[in-house]
Amino acid sequence: MKLEAPISEVRGVGPKTEAALEKAGLKTVKDLLYYLPRTYDNFEEITKLSNIKPGKVVIKGKISDLHTTRTRRRNFTVTEGVIRDNTDAIRVVWFNQPYRATSFDEKKEYYFTGNYDFNRGRYQLTSPKAELASDVEKSRATFRPVYSVRSGFKSEGFHKLIENLRPEFAFIPDLLPETGTAFSKPGARADALFKAHFAENSAEIKEARNYLAFEELFELILASQLNKQENQKLRSAKIPFVADDIKNLVKNLPFPLTNAQRLAAFQILKDLEKPTPMNRLLQGDVGSGKTVVAAISAFSAIRAKKQVALLAPTAILATQHAESLRELLQPFGIKTELLIGSTKQKTDLKTRIKNGEVDLVIGTHALLTDDTEFRDLAFVIIDEQHRFGVSQRQKLLEKTVKTTGLAPHLLMMTATPIPRSLQLAVFGDLDVSILNEMPRGRQPVKTTIIKELNFKDELYPKIREYLGRNEQVYFICKKIDEKGVSEAVSVKKQAEKLKKVFPNVKIACLHGKMKPDEKDAIMTDFANNKTKILVSTTVVEVGVNVPNANLMVIMNAEGYGLAQLHQLRGRVGRGKSKAECFLVANADEPSRRLKELEKSTDGFYLAEADLKLRGPGEIYGSLQHGALNLQFATLMDTKLIAAASTAAKNCAIKFAKNPETFDLFPELKQGIKQYQQLTTLN
């Protein structure tokens, strides 16, 4: 079977069907084969009505008392009836399907498949599928796939097309090379795809999806391992590790390093000595001291007469980095400059950078413009790297190759703790350093879940307490204004409420639609303690450092992921005073996610908890790997990831020794090439 053949070659696909399938993103035979059922109807597991519980059910029974009513809403109908078996009876309802009232024979039995839930003030079966019991039993198809509707193409249509391909499944070629696992035995792929579409029981579905998940993870991890091999072929400037210089810098720091900072700095400094480019991820919880580690490594490169660039996602964060790094490095004669959109005399600064008169350049996207050139850029640091796309990172790295012919050393930093499984699956080409200790004196933030109804008795007195100590407060809201139908509280409305409660307190609003100069002015006033309460969207999530702000209130906290809530909470408790965070959730029972945040301040623990509770969606989104679009694999399956990781690493070694063997797997090679483009950093 030629998997790359156009879908028009499948029997039953005419011009109209082909157009509908292409609109749904299915263009080849492979696309169709990998379009797996969303779920399966199991007509062998019948729910007796006397035992029915909310959820998806399959019921066998007779239907009666059918009638249709029209609502006040134009062209909207409700068709209701009663389903009975020999144990009990339940209500059934269909919306805008008036034909249902006349489509049943009350003397015959049907299979009804749908969701039994609480709706319109009572429990009922809502809009189920219905099939004549005799037809189902005659076909013997008691375990039937259900495909998601795509571009108007229904499940039954997909089922017919796959059925037309049934004789061809035996000829599906294998994809994986020998991996030392059962997943690479001859015919494993064909067997998995057949069982996925023609499963006879739940065990076969699990077996099929297990193979397809392994296949997906194997390709992804192998791509990152091949990237790592390619990285090792590049050449970079060797930056000597001069221990006395580093000791002198550390001795003059205004605070002692944690053991985690010492270890991470040592790992980076040893990497910088190598003739191949460093490719390292420094991940540390909020407030763990990543900037100091970056300063030590930048100091080493500058001592070797090399230039260093630090790329930050926002002007606020870049400015704060510039201030703190200038303070740490200026005593050693290091010239640090800030390059952002609002920088004055930008042309003069860029000339000095090009001439090598600036040692350390900290900036935003202004660093990426074509007219920003360096004399000898050897080390690139990217903060909150997930906020930059691959092409943006690539642009900065190319500036080094352009002028020196060498690849730069690369250090990426993130305050979003990355679960171990995600590190293996997506960042296999990176070395990882972890800061899992907090600097001495850093206060844990007490977290409390609260209802808005309790503001008057619980929250407002607490705000007065902090303001009375001349400390400051954050209020975080999801929306800027009242547009749309969301129930989330807006920045503008919350600010109005607070001004009524605290009429003599300076309150300011901050959100992403403001102009950069306006945002900077508001944050400067807050940092200088001129503004006492800052009502903001999540633009303060990353990098904003105001040690005097020690109270954080997050409205509609249920609307955020754990990682983002933890980031927001990290904006307080940055000084030596006690700090608190209030999570506002109006549900009767707070979610497990919020309870996890209430009991723990450990970002690494929370990242793992978020993965278990919500899956990889939020993490992938925040790390800009949504394009990887894993269909079958889950980052919660650590055993499968470990097996795929071992197999991929061994395979990468074999391909490195005998590159021609990779050519024997053209389909695998093509798929991996796409993953390499998504994950590569050089």
Residue 390, in any domain of the structure: yes
Do 517 and 582 have their domain in common?
Answer: yes
Residues 463 and 382 in one domain: no
- Assess if residue 643 is contained within a domain: no
Does residue 397 share a domain with residue 265?
yes
Residue 653 amino acid letter: I
CA atoms of 559 and 582, how far apart (whole Å): 14
How far apart CA 669 and CA 374 sit, in angstroms, is 37
| Structural domain containing residue 486 | 445-600
End position of a domain, from candidates 600, 617, 646: 600
Strands (E), 85-194: 89-95, 110-119, 122-132, 143-146
Task: Looking at the structure, tell me whether residues 113 and 247 fall in a common domain.
Answer: no
Residues in contact with 595: Cβ distance below 8 Å, sequence separation at least 6, in sequence order: 449
Q: Are residues 507 and 573 in the same domain?
A: yes
Amino acid residing at 353: I
Q: Is 449 among the domain residues?
A: yes
| Residue 184 domain-assigned (yes or no) | no
Residue type, 482: E
Q: By C-alpha distance, which of 334, 376, 330, 333 is closest to 353?
A: 376
Strand partners, 470: none
Which of 204, 46, 198 is CA-nearest to residue 111?
Answer: 46
- Same domain membership, residue 574 and residue 458: yes
Name the one residue in this structure whose structure tokens are 């600036």: 358
Which of 414, 429, 459 terminates a domain? The answer is: 414
Dihedral sign for Cα 63, 64, 65, 66, please.
positive
> What is the CATH classification number for the domain harbouring 81?
2.40.50.140
Q: Are strands 579-584 and 549-554 parallel, antiparallel or unpaired?
A: parallel
Coil, helix or strand at residue 626? helix
Decide: 405 and 241 in contact? Cβ < 8 Å. no
What's the number of CA atoms in the CB half-sphere (13 Å) around residue 675?
Answer: 26
Domain finish residue from 555, 582, 600: 600
Mode of pairing for the β-strands spanning 336-339 and 360-363: parallel
CB atoms within 10 A of CB 375: 15
Q: Is the pTM here over 0.75, yes or no?
A: no
Residue 176 CA to residue 550 CA, distance in Å, equals 54
Q: Which two tokens stand for residue 433?
A: 């350093």
Q: Is residue 615 one of the residues assigned to a domain?
A: no
Same domain, 320 and 408: yes
For 153-210, write each residue's pLDDT tens digit. Answer: 888 899 999 999 999 999 999 999 998 889 999 999 999 999 999 998 889 999 999 9
Per-residue pLDDT reduced to its tens digit, 416-434: 777 666 666 666 667 889 8
The predicted-structure confidence for 582-634, as pLDDT tens digits, reads as follows 999 977 777 888 898 898 888 778 877 776 665 544 443 444 434 456 788 87
Domain membership flag for residue 608: no
Average pLDDT across the chain, whole number: 87
**By percentage, how much of the chain surpasses pLDDT 70?**
90
* Residue 644 belongs to some domain of the structure: no
Q: Is residue 265 domain-resident?
A: yes
In order of 224, 279, 495, 624, the CA distances from 430 in angstroms are 8, 6, 44, 16
Domain count, the chain: 3
Q: Enumerate helices (H) and strands (E) in the chain, giving the number of each.
A: 22, 20
| Angstrom distances, CA of residue 312 to CA of 309, 363, 400, 503, 665 | 10, 6, 18, 37, 40
Whole-number Å distance between alpha carbons of 580 and 473:
10
Does 383 share its domain with 458?
no
Which of 69-78, 487-496, 522-531 shows the highest mean pLDDT? 522-531
Q: Which of 7-11, 307-311, 481-485, 666-670 is predicted with the least confidence, judged by mean pLDDT?
A: 481-485
